[in-house]
Structure 1
Amino acid sequence: MSADQDAETTREAARSGARRGPGGGGPMGGMGMPTEKAMNFGESLKRFAALMRPERARVIVLTLSGIVSVALMVAGPKILGEATDVIFDGVVGRMLAGQVPAGTPVDQVADGLRAQGQDQLADMLAGMDGVVVGQGIDTGALVTILAWAVGVYVAAFLFGWWQARITAIAVQNTMRTLRADVEAKLHRIPLSYVDKQKRGEILSRVTNDIDNAAQTATQTLAQLVTSLLTVVGVLAMMFWISWILALVALVTVPLTVVVTAQIARRSQPQFIRQWASTGRLNAHIEEMFTGHALVKVYGQQGASAATFAQENEQLHDSTRSAQFISGTMQPVMGFIGNLNYVLIAVIGGLRVASGQLSIGDVQAFIQYSRQFTQPLAQVASMMNLLQSGVASIERVFELLDAPEQEPDPADPVVPNHGGPVRGRVVFDGVEFAYSPDKPLITGLDLTAEPGQTVAIVGPTGAGKTTLVNLLMRFYEVNAGHITLDGVDVREMTRDTLRGGIGMVLQDTWLFKGTIEENLRYGVRGELSRDEFLAATRACHVDPFVRTLPDGYDTQLDDEGSSLSAGEKQLLTIARAFLADPAILVLDEATSSVDTRTEVLVQEAMHRLRQGRTAFVIAHRLSTIRDADVILVMEHGDIVEQGSHEELLAAGGAYAALYQSQFAAPLASEEEAPAPA
């Protein structure tokens, strides 16, 4: 939408009760901007899981890979515990060789120790089945056990690597689908929704929030699966080794759950504020960058910097609070883990001394206790990422849930049975309002015959641009009908309707690419080089393009900053003519060209309008003198219509507008004092 369109739409919306607030407020102005209330965490996760349903085969594979990887990792400490037992048994067997004859059964040695009153040492020795008096460390058995341990850990690494790879593929495929859904959604939302949003806010949802959600899913999906499986596997091994020590380890679990829940409850609102602040800051930066020249011209650098500082400070505060609160999760979980370690070490040592556990089992159990608390700590720390990611994905879901324009009819009608569009446009009893209680256009009747040029004039906010927006179905009429070649435009698909219409707005739009690519943007079908050059010459584009170093292959940035405003306007005019539409919509299309160029463009427009229905919105009445019909609009109504001469002779609203533009300057010149 052009700057003039946007301004006019804003004023019309204001009069009809839909006034937009600073930066795009209004009845729906806050839509898409998360509030500070707690979001529906569980429902958002379920909805994201539904998005990953097409990847369920990969999710199953990564889960199975995680199970195998975790099972191998869980087996590792038990194997290393056996190696510890082999070493300790060998050391004890060699120590006993100097006290009792080699080969003496361990039971006899234990009985001898009890006879000497050393019951505790006897109990410990009786629990060591692998001790052989006089025999040192069994090197062969130790090497075999260590080889098994290395093999198990290598296999666990390979399955873990495969799990991470599958996770990345599944998540990125889902994000690709999500981005495609968002792109499709942006084509279905009505222009009224876009008008009421900050562009930077929408861009932030499409880029920053999706990227954050992807990063969160990649880092947490496999890790959550692995962590939960590790907890189950390690807990089973702990109960196998010693149910008493396992119960001791479980004592800290309720404390972990309570701490995690409390920290998450306090940090979640901060993450919501963080991403809301990010969207507002991006919107401000985008607006200031787009209009940086005007910011400097009007000396608003200080005000812009102050707004930036305010938004930046809010982002800083919310991010700091979110990260600080969620960051306490890891040290708290570390403290609980250390507390658990101390309890297990003390009780495990006592059970080794009593001969109820081997030292290898205690060593394995201590490792398992670390493995048990580590995934709990990981899950707790992942709440940081998870909350941030869910806050972002919910903002994307809010965009996907935005109201959509009315769908195209299931059985659309094609004007003229698919033949060429003639361009007869009829407004029959059209009514429209931005707000139901304040109508803007009431009972409007208008007929534009094929080949006619219909000029629309009137004060700012009179409804000129709204009239064209209704024709294009950017907005839907509240009552009445608009027909094209006898077919109600609501019975046609939007592509069919807009395919026969070319628009040139006051606000030029060029994309990054060559000049020729920009000119051919709206061309449908084949267009020969001669036809292309003929059109560019008719629009007076060819002469200035040939002065450029690369001619039509000259690269433009997305703002066309290497061209003057008039040259950019000429390109957009030529682009519309190259599209060869049956209907032309020109919204102040010559406002940016100089007087000499305007004359040339008017001549070209007069030639190229032949055979086309043209709607020309103009403030400069000099550009529409040759229009077949001139409509004068005030407050959404057509108050006068006729040719230039007829309206001047009538002495009404058009004559008053004409006099204000031409008579006043002439009078001023006549009244000016003669030079000395």
Structure 2
Amino acid sequence: MSDTTLPVADGGSLRRYAVDLARRHPRLLWTALVLHVLAAVAGLAAPRLLGGLVEAVETGSTTSHVDRVVLALFGFLVLQTVLTRYARYVSQVLGEQVLAELREDFVQNSLALPVGVVESAGSGDLLTRTSRDVEQLGWSVRWALPEWTIACVTAVLTFAAALSVGWWVALPCLFGVPPLVVGLRWYLARAKDGYLRESATYSQISATLTETVEGSRTVEALGLGRERVTAIDADIDDSYAAERYTLHLRTVFFPSMDISYIIPTVLTLLYGGYLYSQGSVSLGDVTTAVLYVQMLIDPVDRVVAILDELQMGAASLARLLGVAQVPDDREVSGREPAGEQLAAHDVRFSYVEGRDVLHGVDLDVGVGERIAMVGPSGAGKSTLGRLLAGIHPPRTGEVTVGGVGLVELPLGDLRGHVALVTQEHHVFVGSLRENLALAAPEGATEDDVRAALAAVDALDWADALPEGLSTEVGSGGHTLHAAQAQQVALARLVLADPHTLVLDEATSLIDPRAARHLERSLAAVLEGRTVIAIAHRLFSAHDADRVAVVEDGVIAELGSHDDLVAADGSYAALWRSWNGS
């Protein structure tokens, strides 16, 4: 499992968010509520009319009176249908707007997550929240919440109508309250945690599947297939246990609710019959009361049944809102950098508490200087590069640009100063032109896009695509191979136009001969900019102004290529090994 689990919002946060949403849409909310009330009132006319009809028949009323009652019933039925239709329409419009805002808030909060938190938590949890939780919440907002609102309004008004027949109706209804309250308290005390656990198991299944698919070559090469199957089986077992628990809650809860529905109807009929035999109430009153109590079953049953959906929706909402509760890894100070000089002083960093991977690193990078970082795998090159790009804050020490800490700058401002490009890349669904233009903060012209592609030696193959720069790429579109996708990432970097670039093996997927030509082309385009290149191909170090040799989390050597070769230290040994001399 991942080392970090993204947080889940508590009940107070859910209530505050719901109140905030209500304040954003007061007109739609009140319109829907009023329409639901009017529709419920129209539906309450039937028992009163039928009760009156029973009394009229008992006293020998004419056929014309019966016809008038039937006509009135039809009129109220039509009115209730029309009001219900518009009430549901307004509720669904409100639900769609609320859901759209929820999605926008979630996307915004997800994009603001510290990269280190996302990497530590793994993609499975965030992916499940993005897909299953959003889908579950959509179902709750579109259907469950409006229907639950209708049921609540109808239940309250139906009970009030029943009491209007006589206060004696309250007595039979009260006998149905204890089993209802006990069942609800028992269920609600367990349901939220149960559904949260269920959602968490889905996240773990997604994480295990994602890791297995992404590492399929490694799994196959090392013969780890059986171990991965065992891991997913264990995840499925956990999910089965979680779903079985929530199913147990429902199978105990819903039958107990049926008892609380039957008791009031039976007691109303018996008690009303007794009062009628005593001459205290009329037959019409008993009929009306029994019909109202019978009518009360449906909305109360829907309130309870939909409560299950709302519990699942609330659990999903708690997971979505929890993303916003991840502590920020930066504190914006409002200070403006005085220049573009990048510096690291006494920098220490650890992924696991108590185990530093960087040990007091100091590095001053001149404006416009090109530094190559080399060293053995696991030495801390990529970690140092990520700190220099502001991806992670240091555990101690500081990394600054123009005298201001990178973690003091808003992300938007930071990326204008320092940008990181790694061997990881993503091609978005859309045209090749759109994939590139999204990197330009002020927009990019056709000439800008073509110039960026030319700078990374990609213009020839881009023009050769079926529809040129308008060719649809990404999932479902034209497939770009790894080297082309990496060139797209580099072209985005050219368009983004940051002053300082951190390149973490950014040309590793490109043929070495082509990569050599590409780096020289990039060097011409990025003339005057600060470049920190992390690479295993030492021709990058040969062309750099200075070379930093990283070993065991410290900079062991720092100097020009010629000086380090002459010093006959670690870099000289690497150079001889790379050149085969």
Paired position in structure 1 for 2:42: 72
2:25 alignment partner, SS class = helix
Q: Deviations over 1:605-637 (max 9, x none)?
A: 343343222111012223321211001112332
Amino acid at match of 1:201: D
| Shift in Å, 1:600 | 2.1
1:360 Cα deviation (Å)?
3.0
Q: Which amino acid aligns with 1:208?
A: R
What aligned pairs does 1:163-312 form with structure 2 within 5 A after superposition?
Answer: 163-292=87-216, 295=219, 300-312=224-236
What is the SS of the residue equivalent to 2:542? coil
Alignment of structure 1 residues 16-31 onto 2, 5 Å: 22=1, 24-25=2-3, 29-31=4-6
1:81 match: 51
State the Cα deviation string for residues 228-253 of structure 1 (Å, max 9, x = none): 44444333433443444441232222
1:566 aligns with 2:489: no
Bigger shift: residues 552-561 or 364-373:
552-561
1:548-559 equivalent positions in 2, closer than 5 A: 548-558=465-475
Matched, 1:474 2:391: yes
Look up the SS of the partner of 1:455 in the other structure. strand
Q: 1:67 to 1:581 in 2, by over 3 A?
A: closer
Are the counterparts in 2 of residues 352 and 359 from structure 1 also a CA contact under 8 Å? yes
Cα distance in 1 for partners of 2:13, 2:516 equals: 62
Give 1:374's aligned residue: 298
Query: What is the DSSP-based 3-state SS (H/G/I as helix, E as strand, rest coil) of the residue aligned with 1:511?
Result: coil
* Partners of 2:19 and 2:376 in 1: CA distance: 53
1:413 is aligned to 2:350: no
- CA offset at residue 335 of structure 1? 3.5
Report the counterpart of residue 120 of structure 1 in structure 2: none
What's the CA shift for 1:498?
1.6
User: Does the Cα contact within 8 Å between 1:503 and 1:585 map onto a contact in 2?
Assistant: yes
Please say if residues 451 and 610 of structure 1, whose CA atoms lie closer than 8 Å, have aligned partners that are also in contact. yes
- What is the distance in 2 between the residues matched to 1:344 and 1:493? 66
Instruction: Give the 3 Å change call, closer, same or farther, for CA 603–366 of structure 1 in structure 2.
Output: same
Q: Residue 413 of structure 1 aligns to a residue in which SS?
A: coil
Moved more, 65-74 or 235-244: 235-244
In structure 2, what residue type is equivalent to 1:536? L
1:406-555 aligned within 5 A: 406-410=330-334, 412-413=335-336, 415=338, 423-434=340-351, 437-478=354-395, 480-485=397-402, 489=406, 492-525=409-442, 529=446, 532-555=449-472
Change (3 A) 1:458 1:44: same
Query: Matches of 1:174 and 1:399 in 2, distance apart?
Result: 18
Are residues 1:151 and 2:75 paired?
yes
SS, match of residue 633 in structure 1: strand
Count residues with an aligned counterpart: 581
* Residue type of the alignment partner of 1:633: V
- Determine the structure 2 residue equivalent to 1:61: 31
The alpha-carbon deviation at position 297 of structure 1 amounts to: 5.5
Q: How does 1:603-642 map to 2 (within 5 A)?
A: 603-642=520-559
The separation in 2 between residues aligned to 1:43 and 1:478, in whole angstroms, is 30
Per-residue CA deviations over 1:147-199 (Å, capped at 9, x if unaligned) read 22222232233333333223223333233222222222223332221121121
Q: 1:542 to 1:228 in 2, by over 3 A?
A: closer
TM-score (structure 2 length as normaliser): 0.89
Structure 2, gaps ≥5 residues long = none
Matches of 2:444 and 2:150, distance apart in 1: 59
**CA shift digits 1:215-237 (9 cap, x unpaired):** 32444444444444444433343
In structure 2, what is the equivalent of residue 105 of structure 1?
A: none
Identity of matched residues, %:
26
What's the offset of the Cα at 1:76? 1.9
The one-character-per-residue Cα deviations of 1:300-347 (angstroms, maximum 9, x if unpaired) are: 554444433433343233224313422444433333333433333334
- Residue 52 of structure 1 pairs with residue 27 of structure 2: no
Task: Give the TM-score taking structure 1 as reference length.
Answer: 0.77
The CA distance in 2 between the partners of 1:513 and 1:238, in whole Å, is 60
C-alpha spacing 1:141/1:178, structure 2 compared with 1 (3 Å):
same
CA distance in 1, matches of 2:168, 2:438: 75
Equivalent position to 1:576, from 490, 493, 511: 493
Aligned to 1:104: none
